[in-house]
Structure formats: structure tokens, C-alpha cells
Amino acid sequence: MVVNCGAFPEHLLESELFGYQKGAFTDAKMTKKGRLELAHGGTLFLDEVGEISTRMQIDLLRVLEDHVFYRVGGTQPIEADFRVIAATNKDLEKAIKQGTFREDLYYRLNVISFSMPPLREHKEDIPPLAEYFLHRFAQDTNKMVDQISREALDEMMLYDWPGNVRELGNALERAVVVGKSRKILPQDLPIFRPEYVSSPPGRTLREVEKAHLESVLNETQWNVSKSAEILGIDRSTLYDKIKRHDLRKPG
């Protein structure tokens, strides 16, 4: 059973985890089992556990210690025995010091722990991950895209991916959508590395921006829509910048 704790406001997360009895609130027209009950005998994965409110942390800690809980609006205790896996992108030790995450819950969850290194530290995984995302999004969009060019893969290997695997997936999804051939090309990827722009000491921010805009526009053969997507701005903003920097299409 998987629960994305960051996707629900507190009152909905409570119903999602604990379930509710018929008549517990206005829309409770029937009794519903929660994820805790459904996970009995199996595994409960709490994703983004660092987003749980302080009150919900107390309720969850009680369940983990006693293996007993009550549905919302219920009076009958329900026993549940399950394995818990929790994940978060937050620094929970820092959150404990700030008073936003309970120390007792942290140690109750932190029996066996491991940290996933950032993607930049295991770049050997980029090619198989990129292939996975390519085929997944090609199938989802019904597009005949089945290859990643050597040049595009080189760019992916050089990039540091501050958003990790999620950013890589988003980049491949975008590349599949905007690409014009069966092969992913470098210009299809929304990647900007500062070293793309030659920026010797003493250049102003305006000069660096102009050089980067010119580089992206030339890379896309002055396709303004595609350039705007790569730059992460809308077309009108890009047109304003082209005018401000007095950029002109070659030839």
C-alpha cells in the first residue's frame, strides 16, 4: 500500500490512512477501510513522510507502537500488522531541531536507513533510466520515438541533474513531446549548463544573457517556440529579450 503523504491535506490524509465509518462526516455514506487496514500482513510505503502534520505524527506513532487504531468516527479497535517503508526528501534531523518533526517518530521509523545519492554521483545509471523513460513516454504519447542520439546522451551525462531522477524523467517526457524525429536530439532536451556560454571574466550579466539567448536560438534554427521551451519562458518574454538585445536571425 502506497500513500503519498504530501498529496493530501491533514483531514484527508487521516481518512486515507485510518479509513472512516459510515456517517462519520457529511460525505461518509459508507464505511471505508484505510490504508493501514489494507496493508495488514504486507507493507505500507509512506512517501514524503516529512510532510505529515504534528498531530498526524502522534497518531501514526501510536499505531506503529501498538498496532491498533480506530477508523475516523469509529469506536471499534482494529489491529494491523505491517512493515513500514518511509521516504522523504527533507532533512528530518534538521526538522526535529526546528520542532516540525517528532523525534520519537523519527527513531521509530529509522530502524534501518539508507540515503539515495544524487543522480550526479551515479551517472552510470543515466543511460538505462533514460531508455526506460523514453519507451514509457513514447508509449504514453503514441509517438514513434525509439532512440537517443549519442550527442543527446553525452549532454545528459555531462549535466548534474539537480532535480535527480524526477528531473531526468521530465526532460525525457519533454523531449518525446517536442522532438520531430524518431531519435532524441540535444536540442530536444531542456538542459542548460552554464559552461554552454563562454563567459570570460568581466562580462556583464546582460552580455552573458545575450550570448545564451543567441546560442539557444541558433541551436533551434530560430524556432522561437522551441527556444522559449528550452529557456523556460513564454514566447512573448523571449520576443521582448530578442528586441532588447537586438538579436537578428543569421542570413
C-alpha count within 13 angstroms, C-beta hemisphere, residue 147: 8
CB 18 within 8 A of CB 34: yes
Tell me, what's the pLDDT at 232?
A: 67
Q: Is the pLDDT of residue 65 over 50?
A: yes
Q: Is the pLDDT of residue 43 over 80?
A: yes
Strands, E assignment, 34-130: 43-47, 68-69, 78-79, 83-86
Q: Is the pLDDT of residue 6 over 90?
A: no
In the structure, what pLDDT confidence band is assigned to residue 199 with cuts at 50, 70 and 90? very low
- Cell numbers 540515503 correspond to 115
Q: What is the pTM of this model?
A: 0.60
In the three-class reduction of DSSP (H, G, I as helix; E, B as strand; rest coil), residue 148 is classed as strand
CB 227 within 8 A of CB 234: no
Mean pLDDT of 175-185: 91
Mean of pLDDT over the chain: 87
In the structure, what pLDDT confidence band is assigned to residue 78 with cuts at 50, 70 and 90? very high
Tell me, what's the pLDDT at 103?
A: 96
Tell me, what's the pLDDT at 202?
A: 54
Give just the sign of the alpha carbon dihedral 90, 95, 101, 106. Answer: positive
Mean pLDDT of 231-244: 81
- Comparing 38-47, 147-156, 238-247, which segment has the lowest mean pLDDT? 238-247
User: What's the grid cell of residue 16?
Assistant: 486515507
Tell me, what's the pLDDT at 198?
A: 42
Question: How many angstroms separate the CA atoms of 63 and 55, rounded?
Answer: 13
Q: Is the pLDDT of residue 213 over 80?
A: yes
